[in-house]
C-alpha cells in the first residue's frame, strides 16, 4: 500500500517505521524543519538539548521492545532528581518526610495533615474538576501549596474549570497517604510519576525518531520537512487523498494523521457543521522555551524543577547538563531551558526573542540557582498548539468529533495533537504501533482507548 503519515512526532514516526518494516511505501509530511515533534532534539552552542524534559519509561513490553529495537545500546539509565521550587525552597518529589518538615515547618506540615484528615471526613462534593479531584487526594492546604499555582500556569485557566482527567492521567493513584508511605518505606517503582531512573538516548530524545526516519527513507519512503498539510480529502466517508498547502493533491490507500485534531476535522470536506463547531471548540496551549547558556558546570543537581512560586512566570526549568555527558561533550557550560505557556490570543505569544530572553535571564537569576555565573547567550523556541486543554466537560465536546471520525474509513488518528490526548512518549509510540497493525495486519485496535486506563496501563507487562 501507499500510505501518507501526517506529522513526524513520536506517534507519526512510529507508525511510519512500523509500516515500512511491513513493506509498505510511506510518505511522511511534517510542517516543521525536523522530525520528533515535541520530542525532537536541537543543536545549540555545541551541545544538544530537547524541547523540555522528555524521559522515557514504560512497563509495557510492546513499547520497550520497539524502543530498544531502534535505540540499541546507545542509551543509558539516568538517575532522576526532580524537585518543586516553592517560596525559595526545594521540595523533593516524591515527598520525603524530614525534607518536607524542614521546608514547610512543623506547623504548616501538621496543618497539611489536618487538612487531609478534614477532607477524608468531609470530602469535596465535585470531583469532576482538577481542584476537587486533587483536594480529595491531598487536602485543601496541600493542594494550594503544591498543585494550584503550577497547574494554572500550565493551563491558563482556574483549576475549578480544568477537568479532573488531567489529574487522573498525571497523578493516577498517588495521594497524601501514598506520599507518606513513600517517605517512610521508599519508592518501590510502582508509581509512574515516582520512577527513580529513566532510559535516555545518547543522542537526545530526538535520536529515536531520527533513526526511524532514516529507516523509512532507506525503505523507499519519504520524509517531507517544511511540508504542512492543508487538509485530508474524503468522499462518501472514506479518506483517499491529502491536499498540500500549494494545492497539490496526492492520493493514498491509507492516511494516518497526527495533525491537531481541531485542524483536521474543521477542514474535512464533508464534515457536518455541528461536528466542525465541536472541533473548533477544542483548545490547545502553546509553549515558549527560553534556552540560556550559563558559563558554569555545577549549578544544581536536578534534571528539572517544577516552578510553583507565583512570583515567577516560568513553570518548569530543565538543566540539560544533568542528563547525559553525550549531550554536552567537551563544552564547559550548562544549558538551562525555561518553559512558559500561553494561548494564541495572549500578548506574551507575540513577544520578540530578545524580550523573552531578557525575561528568562531575570527569572533564572531570581531563583538564586546560578549565583553570579555569566549568561553568555540565549535562544527561543516557540511550539504552537502543543498541549490539549482539558476544560471541564471537554469529553462531551470531543465525543461528537470522535464518533464522526470513527465512521471515516482509511483514516487513523493518533498522537497528542491528533487524538487530543495529553500523551507521554510511550502513549504515542503505542498509538503509532497499533495504528500500523490496524493497517498492515487488519487488526481492530481502538486507538481512542490508549491513555484512558489511567490506573493500570503502566502495570501491564
Looking up residue 361, the CATH number of its domain turns out to be: 3.90.660.20
In a domain, residue 309? The reply is yes
Q: Which helix (H) or strand (E) holds 242?
A: strand 239-244
The pLDDT assigned to 127 comes to 85
Cell numbers for 431, please give them: 498509538
One domain, residues 31 and 8 = yes
Q: Are residues 62 and 86 in the same domain?
A: no
My answer on whether 275 and 406 are in the same domain is yes
Q: 17, 70 in Cβ contact below 8 A? A: yes
Q: Is 271 found in the same domain as 219?
A: yes
Mean pLDDT score, 302-326: 96
Both 93 and 189 in one domain: the answer is: yes
Residues near 305 by beta carbon (within 8 Å), at least 6 away in sequence: 82, 83, 84, 85, 90, 316, 317, 318, 319
Residue 275, C-alpha cell as written in the block: 461536528
Query: Phi, psi (5° rounding) for residue 440?
Result: -80, -25
Q: Which CATH number does the domain housing residue 18 bear?
A: 3.50.50.60
Contact of 198 with 77, CB cutoff 8 Å: yes
Domain identity same for 247 and 262: yes
pLDDT tens-digit profile of 188-235?
555 555 578 899 999 999 999 999 999 999 999 999 999 999 999 999
Does a structural domain hold residue 311? yes
Query: Is the C-alpha dihedral spanning 82, 88, 89, 91 positive or negative?
Result: negative
Please check whether residue 178 lies inside any domain of the structure.
yes
If asked whether residues 273 and 293 sit together in one domain, one would say no
Q: Do 257 and 405 belong to one domain?
A: yes
Q: In a 3-state reduction of DSSP, which class is residue 234?
A: strand
pLDDT at site 200: 96
Q: Which residues contact 419 (CB under 8 A, 6 or more apart)?
A: 261, 413, 431, 447, 448, 450
Cis before residue 138, ω within 30 degrees of 0?
no
Within a domain: 73: no
**Domain count across the chain:** 3
Report the chain's C-alpha Rg in angstroms. Answer: 22
pLDDT range class, residue 116, cuts 50, 70, 90: confident
User: Is 410 part of any domain?
Assistant: yes
For the chain, give the longest Cα–Cα distance: 67
Domain-embedded: residue 353: yes
Sheet holding 334-342, edge to edge: 89-93, 82-86, 304-307, 316-319, 334-342, 284-294, 375-388
Are 291 and 414 within one domain? no
The model's pLDDT over 121-171, given as tens digits with 9 standing for 90+, comes to: 888 778 889 999 889 888 888 888 888 999 999 999 999 999 988 877 766
Residue at a domain's end among 194, 217, 240: 194
In a domain, 155, yes or no: yes
Q: Are residues 397 and 382 in the same domain?
A: no
Which residues are CB-contacts of 434 (< 8 A; sequence separation ≥ 6)? Answer: 443, 445, 447, 450
Check whether residue 267 and residue 371 sit in a common domain: no
Domain that holds residue 218: 2-66+205-280+392-459
Query: Is residue 352 situated within a structural domain?
Result: yes
User: Where is pLDDT greater, at 188 or 357?
Assistant: 357
> Are residues 368 and 289 part of one domain?
yes
CB 338 within 8 A of CB 367: no
Per-residue confidence (pLDDT) for residue 178, from 0 to 100: 61
Torsion angles phi and psi, residue 233, rounded to 5: -100, 135
How many alpha carbons fall within 13 Å on the CB side of residue 155? Answer: 23
The domain boundary, picked from 160, 194, 228, lies at: 194
Final residue of a structural domain among 388, 407, 434: 388
Contact 460, 58 (CB under 8 A): no
- Do β-strands 304-307 and 82-86 pair in parallel, antiparallel, or remain unpaired? parallel
3-state secondary structure of 444: coil
Binned at pLDDT 50, 70 and 90, residue 452 comes out as: low
Amino acid at each position: 500500500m501507499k500510505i501518507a503519515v501526517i506529522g513526524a512526532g513520536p506517534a507519526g514516526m512510529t507508525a511510519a517505521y512500523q509500516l515500512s518494516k511491513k513493506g509498505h511505501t510511506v510518505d511522511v509530511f511534517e510542517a516543521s524543519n525536523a522530525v520528533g515533534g515535541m520530542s525532537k532534539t536541537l543543536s545549540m552552542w555545541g551541545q544538544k538539548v530537547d524541547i523540555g524534559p522528555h524521559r522515557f519509561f514504560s512497563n509495557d513490553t510492546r513499547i520497550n521492545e520497539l524502543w530498544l529495537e531502534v535505540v540499541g545500546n546507545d542509551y543509558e539509565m539516568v538517575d532522576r532528581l526532580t524537585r518543586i521550587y516553592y517560596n525559595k525552597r526545594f521540595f523533593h518529589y516524591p515527598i520525603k518526610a524530614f525534607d518536607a518538615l524542614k521546608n514547610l515547618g512543623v506547623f504548616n506540615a501538621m496543618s497539611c495533615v489536618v487538612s487531609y484528615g478534614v477532607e477524608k471526613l468531609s470530602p469535596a462534593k465535585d470531583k469532576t474538576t482538577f481542584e476537587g479531584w486533587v483536594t480529595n487526594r491531598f487536602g485543601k492546604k496541600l493542594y494550594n501549596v503544591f498543585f494550584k499555582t503550577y497547574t494554572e500556569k500550565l493551563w491558563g485557566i482556574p483549576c475549578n474549570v480544568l477537568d479532573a482527567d488531567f489529574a487522573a492521567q498525571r497523578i493516577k493513584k498517588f495521594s497524601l497517604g501514598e506520599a507518606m508511605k513513600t517517605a517512610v518505606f521508599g519508592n518501590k517503582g510502582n508509581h509512574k510519576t515516582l520512577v527513580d531512573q529513566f532510559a535516555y538516548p545518547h543522542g537526545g530524545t530526538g535520536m529515536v525518531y531520527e533513526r526511524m526516519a532514516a529507516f523509512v527513507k532507506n525503505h523507499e519512503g519519504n520524509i517531507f520537512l517544511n511540508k504542512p498539510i492543508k487538509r485530508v480529502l474524503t468522499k462518501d466517508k472514506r479518506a483517499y487523498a491529502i491536499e498540500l498547502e500549494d494545492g497539490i493533491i496526492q492520493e493514498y490507500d491509507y492516511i494516518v494523521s497526527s495533525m491537531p485534531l481541531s485542524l483536521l476535522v474543521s477542514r474535512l470536506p464533508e464534515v457536518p457543521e455541528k461536528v466542525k463547531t465541536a472541533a473548533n471548540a477544542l483548545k490547545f496551549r502553546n509553549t515558549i522555551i527560553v534556552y540560556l547558556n550559563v558559563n558554569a558546570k555545577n549549578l544544581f543537581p536536578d534534571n528539572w524543577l517544577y516552578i510553583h512560586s507565583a512570583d515567577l512566570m516560568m513553570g518548569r526549568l530543565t538543566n540539560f547538563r544533568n542528563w547525559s555527558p553525550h549531550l554536552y561533550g567537551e563544552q564547559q557550560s550548562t544549558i538551562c531551558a525555561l518553559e512558559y505557556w500561553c494561548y494564541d490570543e495572549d500578548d506574551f505569544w507575540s513577544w520578540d526573542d530578545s524580550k523573552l530572553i531578557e525575561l528568562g535571564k531575570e527569572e533564572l537569576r531570581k531563583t538564586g540557582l546560578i549565583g553570579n555565573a555569566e549568561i553568555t547567550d540565549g535562544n527561543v523556541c516557540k511550539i504552537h498548539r502543543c498541549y490539549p486543554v482539558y476544560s471541564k466537560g471537554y469529553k462531551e465536546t470531543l465525543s461528537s468529533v470522535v464518533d464522526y471520525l470513527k465512521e471515516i474509513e482509511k483514516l487513523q488518528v493518533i498522537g497528542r495533537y491528533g487524538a487530543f490526548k495529553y500523551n507521554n512518549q510511550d502513549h504515542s509510540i503505542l498509538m503509532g504501533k497499533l495504528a500500523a497493525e490496524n493497517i498492515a495486519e487488519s487488526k481492530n485496535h481502538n486507538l481512542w482507548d490508549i491513555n484512558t486506563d489511567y490506573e493500570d496501563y503502566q502495570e501491564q507487562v
